[in-house]
A = this chain, B = another copy of it.
Amino acid sequence: MKPIQDIESVTIRFAGDSGDGMQVTGNQFTITTAIARNDLSTLPDFPAEIRAPAGTLYGVSGFQIQFSSEQVHTPGDAADVLVAMNPAALQAGLKYLKNNGIIIINTDAFSDRNLKMANFQENPLENGRLKGYQVFPVEMSRLTKEALETVDLSHKEKERCKNFFALGMIYWMYTRSLDPTVQWIEKKFASKPVWIEANTLALKAGRNYAEATEIFTTAYRVVKAKIEPGIYRQITGNEAIAIGLIAAGEKAGVNIFYGSYPITPASEVLQYMALYKNFGVKTLQAEDEIAAIGAAVGASFAGNIGVTATSGPGVALKSEFMGFAVMVELPLVIINIQRGGPSTGMPTKTEQADLLQSLYGRSGEAPIPVIAASSPADCFHTAYEAVKVATQFMTPVMMLSDVYLANGAEPWKIPDVDKLSPVDIHYARAGDAYAPYRRNDKTLARKWALPGTPGLEHRLGGLEKEDVTGNVSYDPDNHDKMTRYRAEKVARIADFVEEPQIYGEPQGDVLVISWGSTYGTVLTVVERLIKAGKKVSFYHLRWLNPLPHGLETHLQNFKKVLVPEINLGQLRQILRSRYLIDVTGFNKVRGLPISVQELQAEIEKMIEEL
């Protein structure tokens, strides 16, 4: 046996042509790694094109995973290992690879044509271009076909199994069991036994090849991480949203009405919701974003919980109805899965630049509570909480996610259904003396009166309403009063929702504040800096509106406050205005998550300069 070396954490990037099955490969590696009890985080990196011609640079499909014996919060800035199935994958993948990183290459794909398409003037395997990396050239296509000699498939079909050959090699390198993947193959191809045979053979052949050949000298082991006991599954942000919404609907005992119009990266949520009709979920693919939210508002009026999801350009279209929902004070959840903007922008790239739009993108004083998810699995809890607040306060709620969370996946500890917090709804009942705009003392919420209930007939609309009665009113003082009620109602949400906990000491040199998907990066950096003895702490905002009560004190307890954001400083602006504190921003608008390395460097510099 070759020697086995223990290491703490590894980042692997699988890259190949869109047709090379890299997402399957990545997902299989992920599950196996999770079962081996490492902590992990993953990120697929799809091409923007639907199906680019084979071999092109823009057709490269990637999948990155970081796994560790410690806690992991990001898929890793840069990879230790790059698996490159063709020249384009190599070309595109090199910039993600660490110096001295490992490259495993399918040399069979290095034809002149493919090299040219990948913008290589010469074969990089031959001209020293890969100096400084540990290169493992493997004739994967040929070896796969050889291993499958006896299988009853065409040459072309056999070659399609080469991703399992590659996976087999990586399993050997990281001392992983093949069993979970073999079981998955058996289930997946249950109706096509020949493919079970082929894929399993390829997988094993890859493992055996790595074990046998002299080019692989060492295998690695990442020991088990301390992970909370429980049942886990791998979940993407979009899937988690769907499940969170359904859970909230079930807990409330109310049907979810999900009206949406497809848009990257939100379409998937509609696709998931449409599957779950047996939960009484109602899905409508409307003719546009306006109709989608309009139907959701209508459904809320009639007693379902209206939900709609979209991305930036769709939010713009929905904003008139969001203002309307503020006026009629009905429960509604609007989900914005942010992407690179402005305009059509970079639809498949991540960004956090819709925060100010969420807060202010409506005419008049139209306050809406805003909550943001911090990780793929957290999308479940965030969607759940959005529904809960929407019904409790009779208000539209905006939930923010982004491309990175939507497509990214991480292990989700499956919660106990019975322990989910209740979703309470205050209905007006037949027989009540109903005044549509009479408010609850504490929440300021009005009551929900459902059409169909005798005696509660009433009329709602977008014109200003008289306090209590809800009749149309142009009275100046009433308008001022109602405007302040609407603001105060949203402000009071802070009295009811859980406050975030500060991570690290309650005072020190630098407080890092984040929101949304930068959570993982910031947590990783702050953990490292604390380990290194720096006086750095971390406060992650879940609700962006209203801000938590405790925030102000925290801000005052640090010499510097840093807000890293994938925008030009939107939360920073809010905090400065609200607390008059000279908050510093760290802003990269590159369509990519902020990297651990660059953020760490920034904070270290900040501390030095104190």
Contact = CB atoms under 8 A, between A and B. Distances in A.
A30 to B, nearest CB: 25
Interface stretch (A17-25, A32-40, A584-592): A584-592
B479 A590 contact: yes
A349 interface: yes
Contacts of A464: 340, 345-346
The copy count of this chain in the complex is: 2
Interface in A293-346: 311-313, 315-317, 319-320, 323-324, 326-328, 338, 340-346
A361 interface: yes
Given A317-B320, A363-B357, A364-B353, A479 B343 contact: no
Nearest to A341: B364
Nearest to A324: B343
A483 interface: yes
Interface stretch (A151-159, A215-223, A422-430, A572-580): A572-580
B477 A349 contact: no
B363 A362 contact: no
A10 B289 CA distance: 53
Interface string A472-489: 001011011001101100
A343 B364 contact: yes
A136 interface: no
Contacts of A568: 365, 483-484, 487
Given A487-B568, A577-B576, A590-B477, A342 B364 contact: yes
A359 B362 CA distance: 11
A483 B316 CA distance: 19
B346 A483 contact: no
A463 interface: yes
A477 B342 CA distance: 16
Contacts of A348: 474
Contacts of A316: 316, 319-320, 323, 361-363
Interface in A364-391: 364-366
A461 B326 CA distance: 34
A366 B346 contact: no
Interface of A: 48, 311-313, 315-317, 319-320, 323-324, 326-328, 338, 340-349, 351, 353-354, 356-357, 359-366, 461-464, 474, 476-477, 479-480, 483-484, 486-487, 567-568, 573-574, 576-578, 580-582, 588-592
- Which 8 pairs between the two chains have the least Cβ-Cβ distance? A341-B364, A312-B363, A342-B364, A577-B577, A476-B590, A344-B462, A342-B366, A343-B462
10 contacts: A312-B323, A317-B317, A324-B344, A341-B362, A346-B463, A356-B356, A361-B361, A365-B568, A476-B592, A483-B589
